Chain A
Amino acid sequence: MNILEKARAVAATVTDPELPMLTLEDLGVLREVDLDERGHLVVSITPTYSGCPAMATMRDDLVHRLQQSGFGDVSVKVSLHPAWTSDWISERGRNALAQHGISPPGAAPQGPVTLSLLPVRRAVSCPQCGSDDVSLTSEFGSTACKAMYRCRACLEPFDHVKEI
């Protein structure tokens, strides 16, 4: 394993501060792990939302974890393009979300933006009991990336990671 592969493997263990069952890699936030011209490690991350308040924590966690693993000089840079999409959440990440009671996102919308005046129709099932009989409570939830649902079968509320 070369130094970059090792650094990438370490960075890939850092978890999201708001969704701790997900690593930044599974969330798709961790982009490049590279060396700059001085041979220092540079890690790129892409914010999930413009106002994501967890970016500073992600950066600190990456720097701390890499420094603990012997990478002395580490910097974290922001990568704004291409914009993060929920499609970047890995299969392992989706399974981890579901196992922790959070409904994973479907495919992100493509093409022109359309106005939709009816509630979003998603193929969502309850992560607790598996029932498809669920209703949307709100398109906005406890963090920028989640919508709130309620299961009509087991009556439990749950979060759904929004398609974006």
Chain B
Amino acid sequence: MPHSLNSDANPVHHDVHESVYDGLLVNDAHWAFGTDFEDPLAGVDTTVPDGVDPAELATYCLMLADDALIYSQRLSQWISCAPDLEEDIALSNIALDLLGQARLLLARAAAADPSVVPALPEGSPVPPEDALAFFRGDQEFRNVRLVEVENGDFAETIARLLIFSSFRLAVLERLSSHRDAVLAAVAAKGVKELTYHRDFAGRWFLTLARGTEESRRRLLTALERLWPLTSELFDTHPVEASVGVDPAVVADEVNVILEQVFAMSEVTRPTASPLAGVQHRKGRDGLHTEAHSLLLAELQVVARAHPMGQW
């Protein structure tokens, strides 16, 4: 940004600056979005309502946040790699919506129960939602395994987006009337965003299914690969049943949507068996695939190297 740099430049100042970059730190108003992250829930009343257990609410918000955060990170890997520019932009917009939801939900979790936030060195400027995103280990993440596996090709990306957005939309619709007003507001906003995501995925699913022999073959292969991870979405975790939406309740509704897309696409619903957990533990319990650890390594490496960093 040469213009902005020049606006602060003054040859006299060079003597007092340790480096040529010091001037950048004086006034960040010229940066497009500033460098100062504010609390995403600034001024919002985060009092946990009566009858809701704060620790359970925090854990539930982590589940919803982690689905969005991990999937957002996966989708971000498409940036500059998608089949064409429009799809590149679409996938990154969807990733951004989910990242925004994740940030609000992580902040909500931290406000409900500060003990979920990992400890950082004294004086660290890392805000709680960032501490949750960047400083938790793999087994502390509560996302379903569907969102963490590799992207695969574009067909697999579309198939996963259809399944995930159909599921999340159904859950968020119900959460829009949750007792916790913060969660309800985040969910109501998310519904509007997910509506666009699901339509995008549904239209591409149809296009690929009825496009060329190759696009159809790829889509069917993708669906077979992803199907074992789908039933986990509807497994009831005790925390979901207690404080959130029991996902088993939305299974029928999600299946109706998927059947609608499958029927128009002339695709038969897959029959592959669910991917087992380990001693009954799955994603919501913190049990993940190897892909999850590799994704986290990339997501977290810079933040972890600089726990005192100001971004």
Binding site for B on A (CB under 8 A): 17, 42, 44, 47, 49-57, 59-60, 64, 75-85, 109, 113, 115-120, 137-142, 144, 148, 162, 164
> Are A117 and B206 closer than 8 Å at their CB atoms?
yes
Among B29-66, those with CB < 8 Å from A are: 29, 32-34, 36-38, 40-44
Counting from the closest, the 9 A-B pairs by CB-CB distance are A77-B43, A51-B100, A50-B100, A80-B185, A140-B90, A138-B86, A81-B185, A51-B96, A140-B93
Closest residue of B by beta carbon distance from A138: B86
State A42–B44 Cα separation when bound (angstroms).
Answer: 12
Closest residue of A by beta carbon distance from B29: A60
State A141–B188 Cα separation when bound (angstroms).
Answer: 22
Which residues of the partner chain B approach A141 to less than 8 Å between Cβ atoms?
89, 93
Given the known inter-chain contacts A53-B96, A115-B257, A144-B93, please indicate yes or no for A78 contacting B43, CB distance below 8 A. Answer: yes
Which residues of the partner chain A approach B32 to less than 8 Å between Cβ atoms?
17, 57
Known: A64-B29, A76-B42, A83-B188. 8 other contacts (CB 8 A): A79-B44, A115-B257, A116-B199, A117-B199, A137-B86, A139-B199, A140-B196, A141-B89
Q: Do most interface residues of chain B lie in helix, strand or loop, or is the interface mixed? A: helix
22 of the cross-chain contacts (CB-CB < 8 Å) are A49-B189, A50-B100, A50-B101, A50-B103, A50-B104, A50-B190, A53-B96, A64-B29, A76-B43, A78-B43, A79-B43, A80-B185, A82-B188, A83-B185, A84-B189, A109-B195, A115-B261, A117-B202, A117-B261, A137-B86, A138-B86, A140-B196
Binding site for A on B (CB under 8 A): 29, 32-34, 36-38, 40-44, 86-87, 89-90, 93-94, 96-101, 103-104, 169, 173, 181-182, 184-186, 188-193, 195-196, 198-200, 202-203, 206, 257, 260-261, 264
> Are B89 and A119 closer than 8 Å at their CB atoms?
no
> Are A113 and B42 closer than 8 Å at their CB atoms?
no
Name the distance in Å between B36's Cβ and chain A's nearest Cβ: 6
> Are A54 and B264 closer than 8 Å at their CB atoms?
no
Which residues of the partner chain B approach A144 to less than 8 Å between Cβ atoms?
93, 96-97
Given the known inter-chain contacts A55-B38, A60-B34, A117-B202, please indicate yes or no for A83 contacting B189, CB distance below 8 A. Answer: yes
Given the known inter-chain contacts A64-B29, A77-B44, A78-B44, please indicate yes or no for A115 contacting B36, CB distance below 8 A. Answer: no
State A105–B198 Cα separation when bound (angstroms).
Answer: 20
State A148–B34 Cα separation when bound (angstroms).
Answer: 27
Given the known inter-chain contacts A75-B43, A144-B96, please indicate yes or no for A56 contacting B200, CB distance below 8 A. Answer: no
Name the distance in Å between B106's Cβ and chain A's nearest Cβ: 12
Which residues of the partner chain B approach A84 to less than 8 Å between Cβ atoms?
189
Which residues of the partner chain B approach A137 to less than 8 Å between Cβ atoms?
86
